Amino acid sequence: MTNLLFSIPLISKMLPTDYVGFTFFIGCMAMMAASAFFFLSLSQFDKKWRVSVLVSGLITFIAAVHYFYMRDYWASFGESPTFFRYVDWVLTVPLMCLEFYLILKIAGAKQSLLWKMIVYSLVMLVTGYFGEAVDPTNAWLWGLVSGVAYFAIVYEIWLGEASKLAKAAGGEVLSAHKILCWFVLVGWAIYPLGYMLGTEGWYTSLLGKGNVDVAYNIADAINKIGFGLVIYNLAVKSTKD
């Protein structure tokens, strides 16, 4: 009998030029390490900040699990794991909206603000999924609707109710809110760029085609871990006071 165990590889080779595979691999490790960091830091904070830091850890933990699946999917099929990607986002982006709400609660944020942002983010992601996976011939149109929802989020935190609450809260909360606003405006803008590199549309002649997964993986690392560190930093500073 031939040794079946050795004829079925349990791990696939990674070519040195496989940047997608590489960024998936690094993504797994980074998200996992960040989760351990956030979870293990919890006990050092005042009670009211613990939930925020816990949510930071949940965001990177949910991403870590999806990254393990996405890495394997890419290694097995050499295709974008679009489905897992969007499931990850549908879970983690609303949690990022929750982070805004949690830090603004001390200034009187209402649940309606949270729900409004969650609805915007779901519209943004569901239409994005349709453009990438269900109806890619109209990718530009789905991307446009998704982009409008994205700008609604940007408006809400930069100029809308959330920004007013942040000003009312002042101090460390206001500084943290400002940094998170920049993450959403600049860090999140990498996603529509990746989308345009990965789908066909009028923009293809301008931008060309590129690898959507490398763009998404870099963006996820910046946004999920960076976002969490801003919250962590806020909790550290507010606990010392």
Ligand X SMILES: *C/C=C(C)/C=C/C=C(C)/C=C/C1=C(C)CCCC1(C)C
Establish if 160 lies at the interface with ligand X (CB under 6 A): no
Are the C-beta atoms of residues 52 and 235 closer than 8 Å to each other? Answer: yes
State the nearest-atom distance from the C-beta of 41 to ligand X, in Å: 20
Burial of 3 (0-12, 13-18, 19+ CB in 10 A): exposed
Question: Measured from the CB of residue 6, what is the shortest distance to ligand X in angstroms?
Answer: 38
Q: Report the distance separating Cα 218 and Cα 23, nearest Å.
A: 7
- Decide: 148 and 127 in contact? Cβ < 8 Å: no
- Look up tokens 């097995």; give the residue: 76
13 burial level (CB within 10 Å; 0-12, 13-18, 19+): exposed
Binding of ligand X at residue 125 (CB under 6 A)?
Answer: yes
Residues 163-192, interacting with ligand X (CB under 6 A): 188, 191-192
């085609």: which residue's tokens? 209
Nearest CB to ligand X, comparing residues 57 and 128: 128
Closest CB to ligand X among 45 and 130?
130
Size of site (CB under 6 A) for ligand X: 18
Give the largest CA-CA distance in the chain.
Answer: 74
Binding track, positions 83-122, relative to ligand X; x by CB under 6 A? ------x--xx--x--------------------------
Residue of closest CB approach to ligand X: 128
Site for ligand X (CB under 6 A): which residue of 94, 223, 231, 232?
A: 223
Residue 215 within binding range of ligand X, rule CB under 6 A: no
Q: Does 224 bind ligand X (CB under 6 A)?
A: yes
Residue of 48, 38, 153 lying closest to 94 (CA atoms): 153
Tokens of 125: 């992601």
Give me the residues that bind ligand X (CB under 6 A), please.
Answer: 89, 92-93, 96, 124-125, 128, 143, 146-147, 150, 188, 191-192, 195, 220, 223-224
